[in-house]
Amino acid sequence: MGRASGVRLIHVQVFSFGPNVSKRCFSQHHIYPLEWHFSIRGTIWAFIMFSHSTASHFPYWKGHAPWDTVTMAGAVWTRTRQGGRTLVPGLQKTAARRRSHTALGAQYDALVVGGGHNGLVAAAYLQKGGLRTAVLERRHVLGGAAVSEELFPGYHFSRCSYLLSLFRPHIYEDLELKKHGLKIYKRNPHAFTPMLEEGVGGAPPRSLTLGSDLVMNQKEIGKFSKKDAIAYGDFNTYLDTLGSAAHPLLDAPPVDVIGLTSGSLRTRLTAAKTLMPLVKCGLKLGKNIPDFYEIVTAPIMKILNQWFESEPLRATLATDAVIGAMTSPYNPGSGYVLLHHVMGELEKEKGSWGYVEGGMGGVSKAIASSARSHGATIFTEKAGLVVFPNVGDVQEILVGSDGVAKGVVLKDGTEIHSKVVLSNATPYVTFKKLMPQASLSPEFIKAIDQFDYTSPVTKINVAVDKLPNFLAAPTPDGKPGPHHQCSIHLNCESVEVLEAAYKESINGKHSTRPMLEMTIPSVLDPTIAPPGGHVVSFFTQFTPYYLEGKEWTNQDREAYADLVFDWVEQYAPGFKSSVVGRDILTPPDLERIFGLTGGNIFHGSMSLDQLYLARPLPCLSNYRTPIKGLYLCGSGCHPGGGVMGSPGWNAALAVMADLKRS
């Protein structure tokens, strides 16, 4: 009996064996009435009889207590490396009932290191699949980069990631995220690019606003080029065709090349199934395969120059090709980054982007709620009982003498054992910070060191006491206009402005005229700011990890934020005086707080050499690692970054497939 199915055979509350116990889980020599509901005293005796009589017949239950995950996780004892025992917190009432059962070990089927959205997705599916699963998060909030934090009284920020679009629809539906509290405010229009220019004849400066209405888009684009206005509809169809065809590749692991080219016939036939997503993609593309190849490999400017002539439109579209990437719109591969960002199907609406109510932490909370509803256990820094306050803070992944992952060691020395471990951390953190280096080959460690985590991003979260008033779209009454809900692109009048910003950063300096993507989610979501106030987010580029070869100082951070605000002031006078608080996150800050190696929001650059079969390495592209029982489930895996959930989904399937075979 494989573990993936065996763990689903019992559903018991506290110590009572309920009617859902399957007859298949009993030895022929030990048959018990399935309708029994024992008294507490009878339960203890029954448990002793049951554990003694079945453990030898069913390997799964060796070291496991035969009761439901929720109650089991409420009170288990773990051995520390100092020889003592620590009570893992959870359901305190349940713990009180079981304090005498000190022989129990902290045994799970699966441990997920890191409570980012992908780790939570993996945990939800593993628990749904019957695996006793726990998530260990070192911070006080769940979500990794998809978190909400109240940084100033009354102001709640999506502190790192800030928009939702790419989340896979089948995961959204499977986990019933709407039922678990996820609410999304869709944006229409979605992009606003004001010009830094003098208005003509007393009119406001020009601006470009884009949304879902093609006629409105063509009217806006026509202010800059009638030719571009006509071409825009066909361009959207072109992107939609290519992006939609790639969907099968997102929801499955890359092709199993090793399985196809070696091993038994059975192994090769099994591996052949991994070709199907690629075949589906090819069939959907049909005659468009050359176009797909071109956009994936080309500089985005090669593509945009084929379609358009106006600078504001090309620059606005080019921002999605360099967002989060230390690259130029003239560099090969930047076309794929744009394609990656148009693959979203938010609530079945293609290309739609939205704000999550309460901030991006609302996504993570909904996934966590779904996982808990199936019985998963989730620990954070503030896990509950004072005796075990840092249960989520993992120091090391346990590897046995046989080279198999056995669980984790917490910072206080506590060991928690499991059948498998999934790491939601970056590949670098997983293999260089959490793994005993002696368990990895020098060649493998060298390969891990070559993975690129370069980041251009500094995120600035700002609390303001009034809505910004843009010269290009005046709102003197202080009420939100349609443009306020958009991604507001500043310093994006031309592609050359973006290129100049990039070139400064590769020389170790921050951009003197940085590319700014500004969002004001409180315009649609009234829950995240006090009356009259607003939450403003700046996603800024380009800033290096080391500023002219040195570490960022607080003075450097403040000076850069002042520079950003000086530019905003030129588009929206009075902005600086409205600021009541700001949170500045340079690449090193993103690394320190969120565990994003190098400050890279994608868990590693989305360059051509780090995609699909090569993400993060060819030997790791199927979520499995050289350490048996250890899996990767973060955005450092295929299909990459963005709040989409696919790496967690794909990793969970890999785990369950392996356990079923074992």
> What is the 3-state secondary structure of 476-541?
CCCCCCHHHHCEEEECCCCHHHHHHHHHHHHCCCCCCCCEEEEECHHHCCHHHCCCCCEEEEEEEE
Number of alpha carbons in the 13 Å side-chain half-sphere of residue 198: 3
pLDDT tens digits, one per residue of 590-633: 999 999 999 999 999 999 999 999 999 999 999 999 999 999 99
Is the model's pLDDT at 335 over the cut of 80? yes
Q: At what angle do helices 117-128 and 361-373 cross, to 10 degrees?
A: 20
pTM of the model: 0.83
Query: Are 596 and 426 within 8 A, CB to CB?
Result: yes
Is the model's pLDDT at 138 over the cut of 70? yes
Residue 395: phi and psi, rounded to 5, are -95, -35
> For residues 423 and 110, what is the distance between their CA atoms, to the nearest angstrom?
11
Percent above pLDDT 90 for the chain: 76
Burial of 340-358, coded b for 16+ CB within 10 Å and e otherwise, reads bbbbbbbeeebbbbbbbbb
Q: Is the peptide bond before 50 cis (omega within 30 degrees of 0)?
A: no
Q: Which of 91-105, 143-157, 360-374 has the lowest mean pLDDT?
A: 91-105
Is the model's pLDDT at 662 over the cut of 50? yes
DSSP strand pairing (133-136 vs 207-210): unpaired
E runs forming strands in 289-414: 345-346, 349-350, 354-356, 377-379, 394-399, 405-410
Is the model's pLDDT at 179 over the cut of 90? yes
The mean per-residue pLDDT over the stretch 63-83 comes to 33
pLDDT value for 85: 35
pLDDT value for 458: 98
Per the prediction, the chain carries an average pLDDT of 85
User: How would residue 63 be classed by pLDDT, with cut points 50, 70 and 90?
Assistant: very low
Query: Are 331 and 463 within 8 A, CB to CB?
Result: no
- What residues form DSSP beta bridges with 630? 421
Secondary structure letter of residue 274 according to DSSP:
G
pLDDT value for 392: 60
Q: 81-145+362-452+592-662: which CATH number, 3.20.19.10, 3.30.365.10, 3.50.50.60, 3.40.50.1220? A: 3.50.50.60
Residue 61: phi and psi, rounded to 5, are -85, 0
With a CB cutoff of 8 Å and minimum separation 6, the contacts of 296 are: 333, 335, 336, 339, 608
The mean per-residue pLDDT over the stretch 444-472 comes to 98
**Nearest CA to 252 among 630, 660, 649, 619?**
649
Is the model's pLDDT at 384 over the cut of 90? no
User: How would residue 642 be classed by pLDDT, with cut points 50, 70 and 90?
Assistant: very high
3-state DSSP assignment of residue 16: strand
Secondary structure letter of residue 145 according to DSSP:
T
Domain boundaries, the chain: 1-67, 81-145+362-452+592-662, 150-185+453-591, 225-343
Percent above pLDDT 70 for the chain: 82
Burial of 33 by CB count in 10 Å (0-12 exposed, 13-18 middle, 19+ buried)? exposed
Is the model's pLDDT at 71 over the cut of 80? no
DSSP for 532-599 reads T-EEEEEEEE---SSBTTBPPPHHHHHHHHHHHHHHHHHHSTTHHHHEEEEEEE-HHHHHHHH--GGG
User: How would residue 89 be classed by pLDDT, with cut points 50, 70 and 90?
Assistant: very low
pLDDT tens digits, one per residue of 29-49: 333 333 333 333 333 333 333
> For residues 435 and 438, what is the distance between their CA atoms, to the nearest angstrom?
8
Could you tell me how many residues make up the chain?
Answer: 662
CATH no. for 150-185+453-591: 3.30.519
Query: Are 622 and 634 within 8 A, CB to CB?
Result: no
C-alpha angle with apex 214: 295 to 483, nearest 5 degrees?
Answer: 95
